[in-house]
Amino acid sequence: MKKVALLLSLGLGCASASFAASDMPRGDAAAGEKNAVVCGACHGADGNSMAPFPKLAGQGAKYLYKQLMDIRDGARVIPTMAGQLDGKSDQDLADFAAFFAAQSRTLGKTDADKLELGRKVYRAGVASRGVAACTACHSPTGQGNPAAGYPALSGQHAQYVADQLRAYRQGAEDPAGRTNDGDTKIMRSVASGLSDMEIAAVASYVAGLH
């Protein structure tokens, strides 16, 4: 897994875990640590990357497993990941997920000039455009809902979060964008109602959220 790069983990996606918990093998964190050494080049040895690569540390195992499966199986196309998961078994992916989920994520910082708008979007949404509050799926503290497969956002790089929201917004009309948020298209719907300014603000807000 050479360069588990930009976009591997944590995108966003409230309805992204479209598989039953029983479909996920029990992950072995020790095996995952051994096999994920090469991932550290982009994501950090413990999953705390430098931007623009997403932080994997502390992300829910179910969400990570779903994203790895989608990348391997072509449901989430990332040019830099082409072929990198070829030959990896479901157990291998579960082991990677277990290892990174067990790590502690470092926090980022919210830009002061984006704080007010970012907090408003995250906690209240944008009612005039039918945009739901992020707290419904990602929790008030940004910890997500690991059991349901909803990703944690707290501490994630603002650049990465903004990139994912823009990719989902593109995916609402263009299959070249991000589309692996499930049949309900919840993230595509949310992102399509956000302006560039709102995306930048909410992305900055979650970077420092805890």
pLDDT tens for residues 13-70? 454 444 555 589 999 999 999 999 888 888 999 999 998 889 999 999 999 999 999 9
Range of the domain at 170: 112-207
Q: What is the mean pLDDT of residues 195-199?
A: 98
Q: Is residue 5 part of a domain?
A: no
Angle between helices 90-101 and 61-73 (to 10 degrees): 140
Q: What is the pLDDT of residue 16?
A: 46
Same domain, 124 and 64: no
Structure confidence at residue 193 (pLDDT): 98
Domain limit, last residue, from 58, 76, 101? 101
Does residue 9 register a pLDDT over 70? no
User: Against a cut of 0.85, is the pTM above it?
Assistant: yes
Domain end, chosen from 101, 120, 146, is at: 101
Minimal CA–CA distance to 68: which of 147, 151, 172? 151
pLDDT, residue 84, reads 81
pLDDT given at position 12:
47
Residue 180 lies in a domain: yes
